[in-house]
Amino acid sequence: MKLPILMYHKITSTCQQDNLSVSLQHLEKQFQYLKKYHFTTITFKELIEHVCNNHPLPHRPIMLTFDDGYKDNFELMYPLLKKYFLKANIFLVAQFIDECSNGSQRQYLNLDEINQMDGGMVEFGFHSFSHKSYSDLSLNEIDQDLFNMRIKFEQLNINIQPCFAYPYGAFFRKAKPMQKWLEHVLKKHGIQLAFRIGNRINPLPLKSRLLIERIDVRGRDQLWKFRLMCRLGRKWLPF
């Protein structure tokens, strides 16, 4: 069995798409494809139960993940999720929630929007405290960021799963001793699963619980490319 994990960021109601922004129209076509070909979306909790307790996954499992916690995830993505009876997972940055206001220029989810989403349909994971690249931080700074992140989410009382996405996908790619230390500190802070980018489909059982790969879905990807990515990943596309 294999597990494709898709990585999104922003959803836009306009045609102004870029690498981070997928249009609502394209997202709906992608959701329609997943339903038509009987993919089954899963949550963080379901993957944890599979990895840690050998609970079986459903037929043709796939994960939808959204990074940074943009408010359009609630305004645009969430209604579409309910329309097609799918599940999604959002990685939240603690400082973004803390700093967001209710003004018209607000980019990120506020606490009220987070709490309004159905917990059986949307789950939340960690995406650091301040969204700084871990490749630019010292070991002590990473440890402190994870500590601040955990404390802040406890204060916000958000029901969050012990899953973590590396900011910018950075995780000491070429330094094995540093990777080992990072694995140690993630576990110290209670993280059970951690997600990078990689653009490959994960074989099951997972090679590493703390280096799970995701496929970057970009705004300019046409549906035919999305279909191939769900089956092959982005890494091995011949173009």
Q: Are residues 186 and 210 in contact, defined by beta-carbon separation less than 8 angstroms? A: yes
Of 84, 88, 85, 90, which Cα lies nearest the Cα of 62? Answer: 88
Q: Are residues 101 and 113 in contact, defined by beta-carbon separation less than 8 angstroms? A: no
Q: CB neighbours of 237 closer than 8 A, spacing ≥ 6?
A: 225, 228, 229
Residue 98 in this model has a pLDDT that exceeds 70: no
Q: Determine, yes or no, domain membership for 109.
A: yes
The residue type found at 201 is I
Helix (H, G, I), strand (E, B) or coil at 11: strand
pLDDT tens-digit profile of 131-157?
999 988 888 999 999 999 999 999 999
pLDDT tens-digit profile of 161-180?
999 999 988 666 655 677 78
pLDDT band (50, 70, 90) for residue 235: confident
pLDDT confidence of residue 14: 79
Q: What is the CATH number of the domain that holds 43?
A: 3.20.20.370
The residue type found at 118 is D
Residue 19 in this model has a pLDDT that exceeds 80: no
pLDDT confidence of residue 182: 85
Give 174-238 as a 3 state SS string. CCHHHHHHHHHHHHHCCCCEEEEEECCCEECCCCCCCCEEEEECCCCCCHHHHHHHHHHCCCCCC
Least confident range from 67-81, 98-112, 177-191: namely 98-112
pLDDT (average), residues 176-197: 88
28 class by beta-carbon count within 10 Å (0-12 exposed, 13-18 middle, 19+ buried): middle
pLDDT (average), residues 121-133: 96
Which residues lie across from 214 on neighbouring strands? 198
How many structural domains does the chain have? 1
pLDDT (average), residues 208-231: 93
Q: CB neighbours of 15 closer than 8 A, spacing ≥ 6?
A: 23
Domain around 12? 2-232
pLDDT confidence of residue 237: 74
